[in-house]
Structure 1
Amino acid sequence: MNHSGKMHEEMNFENSMKQMNHTEHEENDGEHAGHSSEMFKKRFLIVLFLSIPILLLSPTIQGWLNFSFSFNGDKLVLFVLASIVVLWGGLPFFTGAVREIKRKDFGMMVLVSIAVLTGYIYSAGATFIFIAPDFYWEISTLTLFLLFGHYMEMRSVEGASGALGELAKLIPKKANLVKGKDILEVSTDELKVGDIVLVKPGEKIPVDGIVIEGETSINESMITGESKPISKKKGDKVIGGSINFDGSIKFEVSKTGKDTAINQIINLVKEAQSSKPKTQRLADKAANYLTLAAITIGTLSFFYWAFFSSQDFVFALTIAITVFVIACPHALGLAIPVVTSISTTLAAKNGMLIRDMTAVEIAEKLDYVVFDKTGTLTKGVFEVTEIAGDVQTLEYAASIEQNSEHIIGKGIMNKAKSQKIKILSVSNFKAIPGKGARGIVNGREIFVGNLALINQFGIKNIMQKEAEKFASQGKTIVYVTDKNKVFGVIALSDIVREESKEAIKLLKEMNIQTAMITGDNKQTAEQVAKELGIDIYFAEVLPKDKVNKIKELQEKGKVAMVGDGINDAPALTQADIGIAIGAGTDVAVQSAEVVLVKNNPLEVAKLIRLSKVTRKKMKQNLWWAAGYNILAIPIAAGVLIPIGIKLRPEFGAL
């Protein structure tokens, strides 16, 4: 694997971040719940149209442009136009402020509402009650700029979360239901588990199922991130939303609706985006305090400029309003969610499903990554590597194991098939649990199994030299014997995945120690650990004892456990981060914070690197948000006025 450029900064994560302008509001819980970019665009355009006559009727603008224009009732026209701009154009901000107040979570909507309504109420008073300059053009342009800013913001929000919507759109609306000899076009929603569905070349798979007829290749990139077409034949799983390429197939529906892989993935990503890591909770508190600070500073600034300086009331009110609108608590409060949205969606599109964003915080501080050996670092498929003894060794062993479902028996059968060995008939077959099997082949009683089987029947002459040689290499030994002596030894090995070594190397480059946990004997564990460059290994560990090994490492630092999510469930739960690997379409693994669709250890390294980039971006956003407010609020309050620098409210709104 080529991992130059830090794996393209983890799938162009940085580029995705740069596309975000401003920040994001959490769906149905933030200031813009139920709002869209189109709504803000519509209000912006109408307010822009109404603001033109307001500007032309403003004495301040007329003075700047050196022209005069007035008529009887112009103040009333100004009031009506400004009322529409403020009360209708600013309605999203007022409703957002009400939600913030109800939640006791004061933020930008409260500040904006105070600023706009203060200017509007003062101007209305200047029109009908007391004689003073009005504030209509300032609050109109302020509302205009606020609408434009939030229109751009919502476009960014929709762009960030739109990938989930694209996933949902992958499911076709119609499906070809097989009813006897008839093919009926039905709504995908009508399909039930057990139905038979026909999919033609170029069509999308409507729901999850098992192929019962035909062969084809399918694009499953939306689930696995793997762009290469996957061959499918009878008995293989197909995923709803994937694209059928070159063959017609029939499949039996196994999952529909919320149980399908795509819907589970969408729900997992939503779950992650709604989870709040510790950093987010701290940022939320800071945003709350910032709102209260802005209200306090704006009010104090007003009193200072109104009563303790030579400036007039309108000047002081302008200062206060500028402070209210320039403070940006949601830049703090949403510095984290925008990163969360992009990273979780990007990860999901690449087959990495983050269920809890707390895992991202912990991943940056990991000291150990513990891998289960079988099926994770290795293929979980035993292959014959050496055979010693009589020429009939493999023939007899394969004959005894021909109906075996055990992975070792399958390994022996695969070797026999590859060498085109004739499989003999067996009589009086008997499996011996945990030890092997026996049967009659060509009138001869044959035993195939481990050392415990040999000892049980008291067989001597066990080819000890050959067996010890293979065992020292970490291989699994199978003896082939009759009642009198061992006449053959077969060595098998659980083949190490090609990606495992690269994954271990990448983790070491990140200063993370690696560990392996297995139920295999010490020699096998040592051999695999040595081959991969793993720092620590635990051998002969029973499934129930894996938790204790995780606890041992947790006394020294933060630990991630990588396993299959089923046999390793207790260990995954105990670890600081549980990573279920090789989930395929079964992504709802409750014991893990992260679910990896592909069975590839490199995905673990990618996940941790993505987590580090995510955390880096979170910190950058927080620093920018905090730095902006620290600098902007004093300037808005007028500290630079003595040297001729003063911010207007409409520019503060940007």
Structure 2
Amino acid sequence: MDHARHQEHGMGTAHPGAHGGHNHAAMIADFRRRFWVSLALTIPILLLSPLIQHLLRLEAALAFTGSSYVLFALSSAVYFYGGWPFLKGLFAELKTRKPAMMTLIALAISVAYFYSSAVVFGVQGEVFFWELATLIDVMLLGHWIEMKSVMGASGALEKLVQMMPSEAHLVAPEGMKDVPVANLQRGDRVLVKPGEKIPTDGRVIEGRTTVNQAMLTGESQPVEKGGGDEVIGGSVNGESSITVEVHKTGSETYLSQVIEMVRRAQESRSRTQDLADRAALVLTLTALSVGGLTLAIWLVLGQHFEFALARMVTVMVIACPHALGLAIPLVVAVSTALAAQHGLLIRDRSAFERARQLQAVVFDKTGTLTEGRFGVTDVVVLGGYAEDEVVRLAAALESQSEHPIAAGIVAYAKAKDIGFEPPKEFKAIPGKGAQALVNGRNVKVVSPGYLEEHGLDVSDERIAALASQGKTVVYLLIDEKPAGAVALADIIRAESREALARLKGMGVQVMMLTGDSAAVARWVAQEMGLDDYFAEVLPGQKAEKIKAVQARGLRVAMVGDGVNDAPALVEADVGIAIGAGTDVAIESADIVLVRSDPRDVAAILELSRATYRKMIQNLWWGAGYNIVAIPLAAGVAYSIGLVLSPAVGAALMSVSTVIVAINAKLLQRVRLTA
């Protein structure tokens, strides 16, 4: 599917500087600098222009010998310095045979400049220098505003690389020493301490721990790792030190492969034309054809060349209204500011515009629809104990452990306001749980494996049903007898249900991608009423799943927060990052939800639709008055003494610009429910 990606053709980026990897910030700074210099030069240009002097009745005060040459010199500086990006853009668009906004701007300023220069040096007519200068000012301002609202995703690869630690603890014959990760070779052994990132892909050869690789693989729960288990570079070691034998280095590693996928996906983005570009193309063809026709007809009718030329130039200049140059940027600026107030950061404008057409939203599960942390979902009592007693004893024991399951049980007890005492003689049961004395009783919280190992049979339909949902179930033993079971799972966000309901109400299908098991995915899908879900999806397959949904003929948004989501975020028609996620997911996305609230996905669609309506309205205001102005400028009503002069044309432009500005500001009245 040739779906649109990060546009490079719109008003703000069609000039050559937008291509070839030029620094985005440098381009913004360049437009800013050219705008302020041109604006400073425009003030004396206005004061020296005969038409402005006449309107202000300051001819006597401001006129002096040689003023027309000073006006010519100042206007030349604005034309060649301020107008340079548009002149470059003209050649770039003609080279690709896609004339658009740059062609229209360059055409208008060039006709105004060369005609006005000819008037200074003897040709009969009026100078358009003040229109030339103000047109360049407005267009530079429009580009500056627009480019500031569009941030490139070029930082994604850098953020990915930064996930890897720079040094590793190499276990060498002469002792342990810190070395750069880049120096590691296959077969080297490295020590990874608790809380540290694993430096590269390898296999555990000593020690046992849990590894948090949620940001890399999307698995919601830390994974137990012991002798012989594979570990991924960039994942975070849990509670114990481990020794890892290096198996992959450099470009072979999992993270490097993800980097390559993001790079390829970014390069494969297709282009789409901007609304303003299409309007500009129509106006360009209109200006050229009507301008040339005007000159020819007046000459055929026997008018002087100077009169015919003046009519042609007036048509050409009026055909590039100031309002059209601001029609899109003003709406973009207002919608970007409005979005930012609601915690929606728009990184790519064209993708934001496409959001109005979305037909499906695919959510990553862990950390997006869910909180990305273990929490208690069910408590099953056995042997006549009360539920609060089961929770109290389990929390007392687990209060001494740093394991994620333990943290979930303790947090649940605190949320239920169930108090507990610290245990005595706490001991970990490696790979199986923990035990301690609580109020003089021997209490254990153990895995199903411990029960099997010790021949303890707990057959209960309730527990079997919980396990079938993919939940993690641990058992509370009191004096070696089962007293209860606690089921834990990745907690579903309270806001997720509302978010999905709002999207469905807008006619959008909601789906889920996860690296978790089919059982876990099925449970979440049923709980939330999803239209579809994809389970056990390996990181490298996420972008493929997005393509598969697109192959159904749907325009798709991807919402995620992890490194493993980055290729899918780039592949989707619109990539949306949950702000609490990794920097790389944010850098790969078109839109960032700062508040990490899935309801904001619906807010994005609402704002996109409202923004598009304003853009269409503004384009009509910005270009629509040409339907009246261009024929009058050409002189169709000359026989009845009605000819549109440059001054009246300027007044019409001003009115159109004001209307466009007011209409853009009205976008602020949009209420984003969240």
Q: Same fold (TM over 0.5)?
A: yes
Closer, same or farther in 2 for the Cα pair 1:516/1:455, shift >3 Å? farther
Query: Is 2:304 aligned against 1:298?
Result: no
CA distance in 1, matches of 2:109, 2:599: 48
Aligned partner of 2:615 in structure 1 is 618
Among residues 257, 261, 272, which one is paired with 1:278 in the alignment?
Answer: 272
Closer, same or farther in 2 for the Cα pair 1:160/1:545, shift >3 Å? closer
Among residues 563, 566, 584, which one is paired with 2:560 in the alignment?
Answer: 563
Closer, same or farther in 2 for the Cα pair 1:325/1:529, shift >3 Å? same
Deviation at 1:646, TM superposition (A): 1.7
Query: Is 2:406 aligned against 1:421?
Result: no
Pick which of 100-109 and 471-480 moved more: 471-480
Q: What amino acid does structure 1 have at the position aligned with 2:344?
A: M
CA distance in 2, matches of 1:611, 1:326: 31
Deviation at 1:112, TM superposition (A): 3.4
Among residues 71, 82, 102, which one is paired with 1:85 in the alignment?
Answer: 71
Q: What amino acid does structure 1 have at the position aligned with 2:44?
A: R
Q: Say whether the 8 Å CA contact 2:511–2:531 is kept in structure 1.
A: yes
Deviation at 1:507, TM superposition (A): 0.9
Deviation at 1:431, TM superposition (A): 3.4
Deviation at 1:96, TM superposition (A): 4.0
Q: What amino acid does structure 1 have at the position aligned with 2:509?
A: Q
CA distance in 2, matches of 1:357, 1:491: 44
1:148-175 CA-partner distances (Å, limit 9, x unpaired)? 66667778888888999xxxxxxxxxxx
Among residues 398, 401, 404, which one is paired with 2:398 in the alignment?
Answer: 401
Q: Say whether the 8 Å CA contact 1:97–1:110 is kept in structure 2.
A: no
Deviation at 1:319, TM superposition (A): 0.7
CA distance in 1, matches of 2:338, 2:354: 19
Query: Is 2:576 aligned against 1:579?
Result: yes
Q: What amino acid does structure 2 have at the position aligned with 1:635?
A: L
Aligned partner of 2:598 in structure 1 is 601
Task: Report the secondary structure of 2:445's partner residue.
Answer: strand
Q: Say whether the 8 Å CA contact 1:400–1:437 is kept in structure 2.
A: no
Q: What amino acid does structure 1 have at the position aligned with 2:294?
A: S
Q: What amino acid does structure 2 have at the position aligned with 1:88?
A: L
Query: Is 2:374 aligned against 1:375?
Result: no
Q: What amino acid does structure 2 have at the position aligned with 1:408?
A: I
Query: Is 2:363 aligned against 1:362?
Result: no
Q: What amino acid does structure 1 have at the position aligned with 2:43?
A: K
Q: Say whether the 8 Å CA contact 2:441–2:479 is kept in structure 1.
A: no
Task: Report the secondary structure of 2:345's partner residue.
Answer: strand
Deviation at 1:534, TM superposition (A): 2.5
CA distance in 2, matches of 1:569, 1:599: 16
Q: What amino acid does structure 2 have at the position aligned with 1:386?
A: V
Query: Is 2:326 aligned against 1:325?
Result: no
Pick which of 380-389 and 417-426 moved more: 380-389
Once the two structures are superposed, the pairs formed by residues 510-521 of structure 1 within 5 Å of their partners are 510-519=506-515
1:474-505 CA-partner distances (Å, limit 9, x unpaired)? 86532223796533112345443332222112
Q: Say whether the 8 Å CA contact 1:515–1:535 is kept in structure 2.
A: yes
1:390-414 CA-partner distances (Å, limit 9, x unpaired)? 3563354334423433332112122
Deviation at 1:601, TM superposition (A): 0.6
Query: Is 2:25 aligned against 1:39?
Result: no
Q: Say whether the 8 Å CA contact 1:376–1:601 is kept in structure 2.
A: yes
Deviation at 1:359, TM superposition (A): 1.9
Q: Say whether the 8 Å CA contact 2:521–2:535 is kept in structure 1.
A: yes
Q: What amino acid does structure 2 have at the position aligned with 1:121?
A: A
Task: Report the secondary structure of 2:600's partner residue.
Answer: helix
Closer, same or farther in 2 for the Cα pair 1:525/1:121, shift >3 Å? closer
Closer, same or farther in 2 for the Cα pair 1:406/1:605, shift >3 Å? farther
Aligned partner of 2:304 in structure 1 is 312
Closer, same or farther in 2 for the Cα pair 1:276/1:525, shift >3 Å? closer
Q: Say whether the 8 Å CA contact 1:404–1:410 is kept in structure 2.
A: yes
Among residues 495, 500, 504, which one is paired with 2:496 in the alignment?
Answer: 500
Query: Is 2:525 aligned against 1:529?
Result: yes
Aligned partner of 1:430 in structure 2 is 429
Deviation at 1:380, TM superposition (A): 3.4
CA distance in 1, matches of 2:515, 2:117: 74
Q: Say whether the 8 Å CA contact 2:46–2:52 is kept in structure 1.
A: no
Closer, same or farther in 2 for the Cα pair 1:102/1:396, shift >3 Å? closer
Among residues 443, 448, 453, which one is paired with 2:445 in the alignment?
Answer: 448
Deviation at 1:100, TM superposition (A): 3.5
CA distance in 1, matches of 2:360, 2:64: 68
Closer, same or farther in 2 for the Cα pair 1:449/1:627, shift >3 Å? farther
CA distance in 2, matches of 1:55, 1:311: 32
Aligned partner of 1:554 in structure 2 is 550
Task: Report the secondary structure of 1:486's partner residue.
Answer: strand
Query: Is 2:510 aligned against 1:509?
Result: no
Closer, same or farther in 2 for the Cα pair 1:597/1:83, shift >3 Å? same
Q: What amino acid does structure 2 have at the position aligned with 1:422?
A: E
Q: Say whether the 8 Å CA contact 2:352–2:590 is kept in structure 1.
A: no
Among residues 475, 478, 481, which one is paired with 2:477 in the alignment?
Answer: 481
1:100-120 CA-partner distances (Å, limit 9, x unpaired)? 334415333542342354245
Deviation at 1:297, TM superposition (A): 3.7
Among residues 487, 491, 499, which one is paired with 1:491 in the alignment?
Answer: 487
1:278-314 CA-partner distances (Å, limit 9, x unpaired)? 232x7547636744653454244223313x1143344
Aligned residues: 486
RMSD of the alignment, in Å?
4.3
Deviation at 1:585, TM superposition (A): 9.3
1:491-546 CA-partner distances (Å, limit 9, x unpaired)? 34544333222211221122110112345565654454344332223445555554
CA distance in 2, matches of 1:296, 1:533: 57
Q: Say whether the 8 Å CA contact 2:138–2:326 is kept in structure 1.
A: no
CA distance in 1, matches of 2:509, 2:122: 70
Closer, same or farther in 2 for the Cα pair 1:538/1:425, shift >3 Å? farther
Closer, same or farther in 2 for the Cα pair 1:500/1:317, shift >3 Å? same
Q: Say whether the 8 Å CA contact 2:562–2:584 is kept in structure 1.
A: no
- TM-score, structure 1 length as denominator? 0.62
Q: Say whether the 8 Å CA contact 1:429–1:437 is kept in structure 2.
A: yes
Q: Say whether the 8 Å CA contact 2:578–2:597 is kept in structure 1.
A: yes
Q: What amino acid does structure 2 have at the position aligned with 1:596?
A: L
Once the two structures are superposed, the pairs formed by residues 167-206 of structure 1 within 5 Å of their partners are none
Q: Say whether the 8 Å CA contact 2:109–2:136 is kept in structure 1.
A: no
CA distance in 2, matches of 1:490, 1:411: 10
Deviation at 1:342, TM superposition (A): 3.9
Aligned partner of 2:342 in structure 1 is 350
Aligned partner of 1:100 in structure 2 is 86
CA distance in 2, matches of 1:156, 1:591: 26
CA distance in 2, matches of 1:115, 1:571: 48
- TM-score, structure 2 length as denominator? 0.61
CA distance in 2, matches of 1:360, 1:385: 41
Q: Say whether the 8 Å CA contact 2:28–2:147 is kept in structure 1.
A: no
CA distance in 2, matches of 1:421, 1:161: 57
Task: Report the secondary structure of 1:647's partner residue.
Answer: coil
CA distance in 2, matches of 1:370, 1:54: 60
Q: What amino acid does structure 2 have at the position aligned with 1:454?
A: L
Deviation at 1:630, TM superposition (A): 5.2
Deviation at 1:600, TM superposition (A): 0.6
